[in-house]
């Protein structure tokens, strides 16, 4: 029995499924999850000391590679001054000001402790601001595990094919309307059928929880116009895309402004951080200014703030990071494309910026139904072949790959070469 198998057996005695987040359990791809010991740059090292090229990067935060020195040092220096006060600090002001300097249409921003909290709070705020109850989300999009979002959700919910999550009351379901991603007509119909009742449309501006699915031309623009016309709050869930697709996230990259935007992942540099922000006219309804209550003991705590501030400052001061991410992902794309084309099997590679995914599909993958109907059993085989050969891909076809600047050209060549080698085995 390997160390990983021993650890997994032991973990399952005390932790549900042996993991603290379901997507880590390898349930859809099968096999034993890998227990990681440490990581540096582009590489993970498991409990047996085996090295992996990392294409998960903690599901996004490690955009500059693991153990990024300035973040490590910032945390080490700060931790000696206590890990939390539960009182306001100057550091939180600096973090909010830095975010506002990178995302111009955010007038006010509130720190929270996860992407789920950010999205959950944004929805409550939209409901409190509009006095309406219904929300629209898209099939295959994942906004965290708050009740309102666990309707046709992506990521682990799709991976485990959980159609209706037990414990979510029907009253919640009834207020969460869904439409296929990239289907503007379906959203228009929901707006017509629920006139004056929809508080918000929440979307991943580039979907990353059903693999990577970019917005079709005109789709987001159409939603923006619909929200303006119907008085609906337009929420960009940028937990994944924020500070990844550009310094200003998807809003900058795609040239569209939402009314509220949520963040997570990169914003904390690996520490538990989320945030939501947007127009002052809306954000002023949040307590203590308004009565939309939202709170958190550890929100804005100094260790999370110094990690996040150091990370965001590095991204703001090194714009070349985004060109590097783009170039490395494009190189990976070209290599994978060549290997897959040479094999002659059906496949689609979706990419926008440094978000990329492979779908073994004979048709375009523009929504969840298409992602779900791909040959995901083949993806599972591909996943394990790459894992056995030291490349750690997301353990599900319903996830995007995350690229870090620490990835070397040799790592990319190795990933492409191993993909070609895998294709020889099928």
Where along the sequence are the contacts to ligand KE4 (CB under 6 A)?
21, 23, 59, 114-116, 119, 142-144, 155-156, 204, 208-209, 237, 239-240, 264, 274, 399
Q: Find the shortest distance in angstroms from Cβ 271 to ligand KE4.
A: 11
Phi, psi of 129 (to 5 degrees): -70, -40
CB nearer ligand KE4, residue 8 or residue 59: 59
Catalytic-residue membership of 142: yes
CB nearer ligand KE4, residue 204 or residue 411: 204
Q: Find the shortest distance in angstroms from Cβ 250 to ligand KE4.
A: 11
**83: Cβ–Cβ under 8 A, 6 or more apart, which residues?**
301, 302, 303
Omega before 266 within 30 of 0, i.e. cis: no
What one-character DSSP code corresponds to residue 310? H
Compute the distance between CA of residue 46 and CA of residue 56 in angstroms, rounded to an integer. Answer: 14
Query: Which of the residues 52, 265, 322, 382 is marked catalytic?
Result: 265
Coil vs helix vs strand at 144: coil
Q: Find the shortest distance in angstroms from Cβ 362 to ligand KE4.
A: 25
Q: Find the shortest distance in angstroms from Cβ 209 to ligand KE4.
A: 5
CB nearer ligand KE4, residue 208 or residue 248: 208
Helices 302-317 and 69-79 sit at what angle, rounded to 10 degrees? 150
* Chain position whose Cβ is nearest to ligand KE4: 115
CB nearer ligand KE4, residue 114 or residue 357: 114
Catalytic-residue membership of 50: no
| Pairing of the two strands 260-263 and 198-203 | unpaired
Query: Which of the residues 52, 55, 68, 142 is marked catalytic?
Result: 142
Query: Which of the residues 237, 259, 367, 411 is marked catalytic?
Result: 237
Contact 142, 157 (CB under 8 A): yes
Compute the distance between CA of residue 19 and CA of residue 9 in angstroms, rounded to an integer. Answer: 11
| Pairing of the two strands 401-402 and 51-54 | unpaired
Contact 355, 340 (CB under 8 A): no
CB nearer ligand KE4, residue 175 or residue 237: 237
Q: Find the shortest distance in angstroms from Cβ 208 to ligand KE4.
A: 6
Phi, psi of 386 (to 5 degrees): -65, -40
Known catalytic residues?
Answer: 142, 237, 265
């Amino acid at each position: 029995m390997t160390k990983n198998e021993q650890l997994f057996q032991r973990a399952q005695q005390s932790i549900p499924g042996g993991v603290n987040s379901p997507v880590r359990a390898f349930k859809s791809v099968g096999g034993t999850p890998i227990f990681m010991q440490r990581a540096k740059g582009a590489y993970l090292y498991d409990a047996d000391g085996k090295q992996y090229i990392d294409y998960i990067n903690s599901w996004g935060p490690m955009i500059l590679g693991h153990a990024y020195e300035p973040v490590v040092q910032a945390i080490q220096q700060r931790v000696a001054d206590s890990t939390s006060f539960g009182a306001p600090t100057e550091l939180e002001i600096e973090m909010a000001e830095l975010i506002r300097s990178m995302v111009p249409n955010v007038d006010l921003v509130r720190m929270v402790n996860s992407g789920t909290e950010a999205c959950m709070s944004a929805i409550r705020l939209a409901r409190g601001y509009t006095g309406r109850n219904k929300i629209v989300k898209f099939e295959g999009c994942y906004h965290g595990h708050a009740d309102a979002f666990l309707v046709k959700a992506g990521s682990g919910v799709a991976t485990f094919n959980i159609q209706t999550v037990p414990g979510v009351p029907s009253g919640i379901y009834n207020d969460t309307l869904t439409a296929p991603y990239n289907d503007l007509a379906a959203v228009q119909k929901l707006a017509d059928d629920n006139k004056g009742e929809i508080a918000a449309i929440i979307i991943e501006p580039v979907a990353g929880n059903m693999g990577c699915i970019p917005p079709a031309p005109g789709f987001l623009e159409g939603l923006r116009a619909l929200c303006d016309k119907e008085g609906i709050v337009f929420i960009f869930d940028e937990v994944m895309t924020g500070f990844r697709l550009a310094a200003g996230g998807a809003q900058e990259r795609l040239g569209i402004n939402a009314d509220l935007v949520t963040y997570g992942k990169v914003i904390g540099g690996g520490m538990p951080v989320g945030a939501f922000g947007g127009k002052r006219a809306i954000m002023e309804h949040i307590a203590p200014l308004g009565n939309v209550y939202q709170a958190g003991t550890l929100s804005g705590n100094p260790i999370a703030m110094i990690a996040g501030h150091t990370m965001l400052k590095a991204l703001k001061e090194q714009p070349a990071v985004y060109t590097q991410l783009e170039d490395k992902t494009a190189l990976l794309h070209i290599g994978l494309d060549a290997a897959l084309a040479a094999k002659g099997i059906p496949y689609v590679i979706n990419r926008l910026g440094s978000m990329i995914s492979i779908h073994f599909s004979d048709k375009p993958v523009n929504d969840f139904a298409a992602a779900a109907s791909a040959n995901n059993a083949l993806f599972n085989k591909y996943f394990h072949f790459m894992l056995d050969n030291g490349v750690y891909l997301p353990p599900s076809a319903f996830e995007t790959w995350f690229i870090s600047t620490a990835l070397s050209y040799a790592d990319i060549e190795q990933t492409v070469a191993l993909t070609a080698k895998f294709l020889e085995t099928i």
